[in-house]
Structure 1
Amino acid sequence: MSDVLDFIPYARFLGVAVDRANGALECVLPFRQEIIGNVMLPAIHGGVLGAFLELTAILRLIDESGTDKVPKPINFAIDYLRSAGPATTRARADIFKLGRRVAVVHVIAWQDDPSRPVASGNGKFLL
């Protein structure tokens, strides 16, 4: 999976890593000062969270399907549920449908507790 992360420029920029310690593919976004959007709170920029959610969905699809092509987003909707503070953020994706041409994926991101997500995303991808 690290070769896929190296291939995607914004994955390299964000420093995203993959963790399989809990038995499922989880993506890890390490905190860095450069990803802060609101310095008054401080909070991670919404664009960074959105890119992280979409990347998590793409990596899960690559892992599940075994394809060597990067799935292309058809649409991706994000719900920002609470402020993501200056901490490591984790995300996990569930595939609702994996067809021959299209996949439907749901992603959640959290910081300290998976039952208190900071954001979620739903997307359709062309395989």
Structure 2
Amino acid sequence: IGVVRQRQACYLKAIETRPDFAVAWSNLGCVFNAQGEIWLAIHHFEKAVALDPNFLDAYINLGNVLKEARIFDRAVAAYLRALNLSPYNAVVHGNLACVYYEQGLIDLAIDTYRRAIELQPNFP
């Protein structure tokens, strides 16, 4: 727990010093997610992508947390934005397929997962 609190303090200081530092917002989102603070994680990832609309990892992290929270429509939006930035990212295709499956969009889930496998044949 000491290391997590140190990281949290470090990222908070970075944000205090540079409020426009998207990486610090995203990293703090990861800390909050690891602590089970889903809503704080979502807030920080959303702030990161608002500051840097081309921040691929923040969109992926946002999609992952929204998927965990079962906020599927917003998870889809985050993953689609990530794919707009990185269309050949098999992991994002796979994550998106999982959300489609959870939404009951089975055909779309299958097609999206197939795309992940096309991009990375050994995809899990």
**What TM-score does the superposition give when structure 2 sets the normalisation length?**
0.26
The structure number with the bigger radius of gyration is 2
Which has the larger share of helix?
Answer: 2
Would you tell me which structure has more strand in proportion to its own residues? 1
Q: Relative contact order, CA 8 A, sep 6+: which one is greater? A: 1
